[in-house]
A and B are shown apart, each in its own frame.
Chain A
Amino acid sequence: MTAFVMLDGVHKQWSHTVAVGPLSLDIPQGEILALLGPSGSGKTTVLRLLGGFETCDAGRILVAGEDVTAVPPARRRCGMVFQHYALFPHLDVGENVAFGLKGRGTREGGRVAAKVAEVLALVGLEGFERRRVQELSGGQQQRVALARALAPEPRVLLLDEPLSNLDPALRERTRRELRALIKRVGITSIFVTHEQDEAFDLGDRVAVLQAGRLEQLATADELYDHPASLFVATFVGRANVLRGRAAQALGGRDGQVLVVRPERLRFADAGVPGVVRERRYTGAAAFYQVDTEPGDRLEVLAAPDAARVGDRVYLEPLGVIAFPEARG
């Protein structure tokens, strides 16, 4: 795999205590990469460094082999979709999309208009050229922002929390549409999100960031099944974290922290004894909160009729992930 976008030891110091990097990332052409992390993890800074809105204190950024570290945003050819879209309110939809297209003279005008129509069709907004941006729904505004970013045919597409401004009912559908559209265009894309579902659904690979550092860069399956750190294990997916005596009860060695996914715990005839305290029904399955005798509360995902509140049960782990305590 050859890197189309490359971050090489990129570092940005905000203050004595807050810094991002040093960070290295390779992104092959056409990949959609998710930058996932809690707020303050530096994911937005990484995106803004890529777009040129922040300058690195150290390291290099390469796009298609060209060092763009010192190239200002206006000449970097990165399309950007902003969190609140940043549509120009004094321009209509067509003028917004045409903003980055050169040549507004009469001769070139036809070419620009054709390009605007083409990109608007791509995002499913044919004939919206003369609409005011204020009249559009949130989803439509998001698509105009996307069309505007794509119109100048950038080399890289950057998206800052592209779905956070949509109402939840719309998000899942938009996610799939967005992915299909980016794949159709074939543009290398990097987006920021703090939601795991979004990162998994939309990204080919996910880079998990924590306190300015890259914890792991992998596919969704790998992140879930083989987390590189306790942070990734708990941030990605639901997890029971066990320490000390409780960890030893599940076969952990001294000084180890164990992580058990709720679906990797099973009600059995023998194992860790406990009492079911709560049951949360989700339709296909149910989450059970079990207080174990060692004094932990574990979450178990099982069939809806597997147990009732008050039942005495035994828990058997089907798979545990072990980390040395120090890394936590």
Chain B
Amino acid sequence: MNPRLGLAGRAAFTLLLAWLVLYPILIVVGAAARPDALAAFASRPGEWRALWASVWISLASVALAAAIGVPLAFLFEWLEFPGRKTLGSLIALPAVLPPFVGVIAFLFLYGESGFVARAVQRTLGLEQAPWRLQGAGAILLVHAYSMYVYFYLFTRAGLAKLDASMLEAAQALGAGRWESLRRVTLPLLRPSLAGAALLVFMTALGSFSAPYVFGGGFRLMTTQIVATKLNGELPLAMVETVALALVAVAALAVLRRTEGDDILTALGKGTAPRRRPIRGAGARRLAAVAGWALAALLLLPHLTLALVSLVPYGSWTTETLPPVLSLVNYQRLLGEAERLRPLVNSLWMAAASTLAALVLALVAGALGARRRPWQFRGPIEGLIALPWALPGTVFAIALATTFSVHSPFTLRWVLVGTTVLLPLAYLVRNLPLTGRAVLAGYRQLDPGLAEAAASLGAGRWAAFRRVTLPLLKPALAAGGSLAFVSALGDFVTSIVLYTYDNRPISIEIMSSLRLSELGIAAAFGVILMVVSAAVLGLGARQ
């Protein structure tokens, strides 16, 4: 390729990404820079409370998720007991529950009219429900359940990479089991732990579904922004959005520093420690029973959802368990065109946004796949990663603001109220997922392969189609399946940007709940869950 043309191509691509990812944020920052809005933000204690709540809830989520996930990872990686393999993969199951679906599953299970509350109420003969699932405690419960998986998976991966001879060296130098753990294992796990902490903090900071459903009067910044926007105080919503974005960026900067470098593991060459069998039949049985009990506890939300989806409308009132079960909800959902609509909407928007995100990731990869250092590498990779660093609400507000004005000279068009804006938002949010996978895939490719194809007479396009693309298939499948699933289950951006014509599943679930059509809501949840699990499974198989 003509080098000048290549340079122009990269510049154009960088500008396209900047327009998609950075420009809307800048517009929000500009809109927020209004003295009256800033003054309103600064003077209202509710704003500061919400901001502080977002921070401490996120920190507490990290602590809780670590407290559950890290010990579990040690248990499953270091000990051997019956059922370890099956349980070890079951334990990652909360990951297939889209956030909003998880939240309603918790509502059905632990909410004031959920199964557990009903059972307790009946057992103790209480007049009223024994508790209300509301406020910070409820939010933290959901966060701990859905986010410990990050710590569990990261710690297990870190432990699997650990060199057994490191631990033996510590022992040979006189360190006992706890001392080796404190002085060798944990320091070596630091990159994994910091990575998980960062992921949990960012997820919790951007979490919208749990605070939206369970928050009540307790506001986090994400729910505060949406409430302010609904109140029509747009400038204030902009300031709130920028404040949330700043917290996210600050957290990213701090946690990135503690993450340290990967060099920690670079020296290790040996094999991971052998798993120690639990000795003693009693202890082994106890471990197995405890393990299965834990798995049941983790699976309870999934099962609840499935059960509620079989309850016909109005058939379940005061009984502990629903008296009638039937498939009527699914029949209605799939039989009535109006009910089927959200499912079709979600599927096409998730598919289109994933496809577009994959294409952009491939272009970024192809532009970078040269041997000589390429221009715009930093900006392109930074722009692709940016949506990951900012909560979904921030992007939703930013896109809604940017594309509510008709001004072609500043590259702004009115997209609010059209069906295009929501898939565009999904695309922006998907970019880091596909980008990370595809760029990593490109880095593992031997540049000599494309040259070999060229020497055998393949043109650029043929080489791409016949060599590069097949080799990138695992990366495309991994990134694509993650992106598809996250778009399919999205609630955060949807609630800000949906129109009646493109309302997705999550919004339909919410309106079903408002109409007390619990069965329909649960049936949608089950479909979402099953499709997500299938797609993730398919992506992992490649």
Residues of A participating in the B interface, judged by any CB pair closer than 8 Å = 51-53, 72-80, 82-91, 99-100, 102, 133-134, 148-149, 152, 158
Contact = CB atoms under 8 A, between A and B. Distances in A.
Contact of A86 (B168, B175, B176): B168
B169 interface: yes
Interface string B348-361: 00000000000000
A149 B172 contact: yes
23 contacts: A51-B172, A52-B171, A73-B172, A74-B175, A76-B172, A78-B172, A79-B172, A80-B169, A80-B172, A82-B270, A84-B165, A86-B163, A86-B165, A88-B166, A88-B169, A88-B170, A88-B184, A89-B265, A89-B268, A134-B263, A134-B266, A134-B267, A152-B174
B269 A73 contact: no
B171 A72 contact: yes
Leading 7 A-B pairs by shortest Cβ distance:
A100-B173, A86-B165, A73-B171, A86-B169, A80-B172, A90-B187, A84-B269
Contacts of A52: 171
B173 A148 contact: yes
By size class, the interface of chain B is 20 to 34
B339 interface: no
B183 interface: yes
**Chain B's interface: helix, strand, loop or mixed, by majority?**
helix
Contacts of B174: 74-75, 77, 100, 102, 152
Contacts of A149: 172-173
A99 B170 contact: yes
A53 B173 contact: no
Contact of B190 (A51, A90, A152): A90
Interface string B170-193: 111111100000011001101000
Interface in B259-276: 263-270
A82 B187 CA distance: 20
Contacts of A148: 169, 173
Contact of A99 (B163, B173, B269): B173
Contacts of B170: 88, 99
Nearest to B180: A74
Contacts of B184: 88
Nearest to B167: A86
A102 B264 CA distance: 25
B328 to A, nearest CB: 58
Contacts of A75: 174
B94 to A, nearest CB: 31
Contacts of B187: 88, 90-91
B175 A99 contact: yes
B264 A90 contact: yes
Interface in B227-279: 263-270
Contacts of A73: 168, 171-172
Nearest to B269: A84
A134 B260 CA distance: 14
B510 to A, nearest CB: 48
Contacts of A74: 171-172, 174-176
B171 to A, nearest CB: 4
A86 B270 contact: yes
Contacts of B264: 89-90
A68 to B, nearest CB: 13
Contacts of B266: 89, 134
A313 B173 CA distance: 61
Contacts of A86: 163, 165-166, 168-169, 270
A293 B165 CA distance: 54
